[in-house]
């Protein structure tokens, strides 16, 4: 979800960007309500995706959960602890500007690093200014340390030290139904707090324009997220950062609309590698499978058009024309879900890929060691 874009002296206009541009792929995340009022769902033990619970029962591959089974969230205490480490971000350019949110990730005695979305600050890459507003109202000039379009992550630096740092959690340990809080500056309203639950995990989401796409293996939440929340914090019941809010789905075909209960956050475990690389070197990397996908293919799965010479897929023996059906146990429905699964891995790691071989060769499993490339 893109931060609010406007001309400061004119009429407010909100760009659709990371709102209407969201493409969601994969399974359906729904829940049923029993006669007792308990919301029940079946959670896939492997992918953590949520499905309809029929008559309060689930197959062996899924676990029945009650989403309002008594898990409590002390929103007041969490908000009090976390809001000092969440900032508002204002970008000003010659043609206008925009707003977004961010979290103070690291600090020293002389400087602090703030994480946000790339799309919040991208207009200031070549010109313009970036300012960060703290909870106490102090406004600090900020510079870009580095950014990653593919993961929609950016890191800013302010020349002020000893700022309150957000506690980082473990997004691999969250589950569907867990309570969460979103903190940010929707529509420029600083330190706005909304609460909800995690409604799905491992949701493949594509945002951005052609050539500048971001592929997110998203945490889905019903906590209200609106334009300007971009780059803000999604925290768990302990106030620990588990996601960077990035996108919302919308029913609007043009312009921006508000939250409809479908918000998407970049899992912090995925973002953390990129963030640490940017802080250390100013740049980041991405994993490479070594394939080019056939974008004309309309069947289920991701069809490999050709291979990159010397890269992981070729070395593993995967032939061109194969259709990827599964990566690391996750079903692949199309090219987007394949790219999301690949980019959620670490460069140099070995992943399991199941493909449908060409010429009716049947299914075959391959172990592929991912390469590494500079991220865009």
119 an active-site residue?
yes
DSSP letter string over 144-166? EEEEETTTTEEEEEES--SPPPP
Is residue 153 within 8 Å of 275, Cβ to Cβ?
A: yes
Q: Does the pLDDT at position 371 exceed 90?
A: yes
The yes-or-no answer on residue 294 being catalytic is no
Catalytic-role residue among 199, 230, 322, 344? 230
Reply yes or no on whether the pLDDT at 325 is more than 50: yes
For range 263-274, the mean pLDDT: 95
CATH no. of 286-374 = 2.30.42.10
In the prediction, which pLDDT does 69 show? 40
Q: Where are the domains of the chain?
A: 1-283, 286-374
Cα dist from 213 to 73, 120, 245, 276, 324, whole Å: 35, 14, 16, 22, 21
Question: In the prediction, which pLDDT does 74 show?
Answer: 78
pLDDT per position as a tens digit, 137-168: 999 999 999 999 999 999 999 999 999 999 99
Could you read off the pLDDT of 92-129 as tens digits, one per residue? 988 888 889 999 999 999 999 999 999 999 999 988 89
Is it the case that residue 83 has pLDDT exceeding 60?
yes
Q: Do 1-283 and 286-374 share a fold? A: no
Annotated catalytic residue 322? no
Check pLDDT > 90 for residue 9.
Answer: no
- Report pLDDT digits (tens) over 301-318: 999 999 999 999 999 999
2, 119 Cβ separation under 8 angstroms: yes
User: Mean pLDDT across the stretch 292-297?
Assistant: 96
Place of tokens 């400087």: 111
In 3-state terms, what secondary structure has residue 240? coil
8 Å CB contact between 215 and 206: yes
Q: What percent of the chain has pLDDT over 70?
A: 80
Place of tokens 């949110």: 101
DSSP states of 301-365? SEEEEEE-TTSHHHHHTPPTT-EEEEETTEE--SHHHHHHHHHTSPTT-EEEEEEEETTTTEEEE
Least confident of 10-14, 221-225, 234-238, 323-327: 10-14
Q: Residues 26-36: what's their mean pLDDT?
A: 36
Residue 26 has pLDDT above 50, yes or no: no
Q: What is the mean pLDDT of residues 289-293?
A: 97
- pLDDT the model gives residue 187: 77
In CATH terms, the fold of domain 1-283 is Thrombin, subunit H (2.40.10)
Choice between 255 and 283, residue whose per-residue pLDDT is larger: 283
pLDDT band at 61 (very low <50, low <70, confident <90, very high): confident
Specify the higher pLDDT residue, 216 or 51: 216
3-class DSSP assignment, residue 315: helix
Lowest mean per-residue pLDDT among 222-231, 262-271, 359-368: 222-231
Fill in the DSSP letter of residue 58. Answer: -
pLDDT, greater one: 13 or 173: 173
Distance between CA atoms of residues 190 and 200, nearest Å: 27
The arithmetic mean of pLDDT across residues 54-62, rounded, is 75
Which of 85, 101, 103, 152 is an active site residue?
A: 152
Residue 24 banded pLDDT, cuts 50, 70, 90: very low
Catalytic residue among 85, 88, 119, 344: 119
Q: What is the pTM of this model?
A: 0.80
CA–CA separation, 277 and 148 (whole Å)? 10
């Amino acid at each position: 979800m893109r931060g609010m874009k406007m001309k400061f002296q004119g009429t407010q206009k909100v760009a659709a960007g990371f709102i209407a541009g969201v493409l969601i792929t994969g399974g359906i995340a729904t829940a049923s309500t029993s006669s007792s009022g308990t919301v029940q769902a079946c959670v896939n033990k492997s992918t953590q995706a949520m499905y309809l619970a029929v008559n309060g029962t689930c197959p062996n591959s899924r676990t029945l959960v009650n989403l309002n089974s008594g898990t409590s969230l002390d929103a007041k205490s969490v908000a009090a602890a976390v809001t000092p480490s969440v900032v508002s971000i204002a970008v000003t350019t010659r043609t206008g500007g925009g707003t977004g949110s961010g979290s103070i990730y690291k600090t020293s005695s002389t400087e602090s690093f703030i994480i946000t979305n790339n799309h919040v600050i991208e207009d200031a890459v070549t010109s313009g200014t970036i300012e960060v507003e703290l909870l106490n109202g102090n406004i600090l000039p900020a510079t870009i340390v580095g950014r990653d379009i593919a993961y929609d992550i950016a890191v800013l630096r302010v020349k002020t030290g000893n700022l309150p740092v957000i506690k980082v959690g473990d997004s691999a340990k969250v589950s569907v139904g867990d309570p969460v809080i979103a903190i940010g500056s929707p529509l420029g309203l600083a330190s706005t707090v909304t609460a909800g639950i995690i409604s799905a995990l491992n949701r493949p989401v594509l945002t951005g324009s052609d050539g500048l796409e971001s592929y997110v293996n998203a945490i889905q939440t019903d906590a209200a997220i609106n334009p300007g929340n971009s780059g803000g914090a999604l925290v768990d019941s302990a106030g620990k950062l588990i996601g960077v809010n990035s996108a919302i789905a919308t029913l609007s075909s043009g312009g921006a609309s508000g939250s409809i209960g479908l918000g998407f956050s970049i899992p912090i475990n995925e973002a953390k590698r990129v963030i640490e690389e940017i802080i250390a070197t100013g740049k980041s990397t991405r994993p490479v499978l070594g394939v080019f996908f056939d974008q004309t293919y309309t069947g289920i799965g991701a069809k490999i058009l050709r291979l990159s010479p010397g890269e992981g897929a070729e070395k593993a023996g995967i032939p061109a024309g194969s259709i990827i059906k599964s990566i690391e146990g996750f079903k692949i429905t199309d090219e987007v879900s394949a790219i999301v699964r690949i980019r959620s891995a670490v460069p140099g790691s070995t992943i399991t890929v199941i493909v449908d071989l060409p010429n009716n060769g049947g299914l075959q499993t391959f172990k592929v060691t991912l390469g590494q490339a500079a991220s865009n």
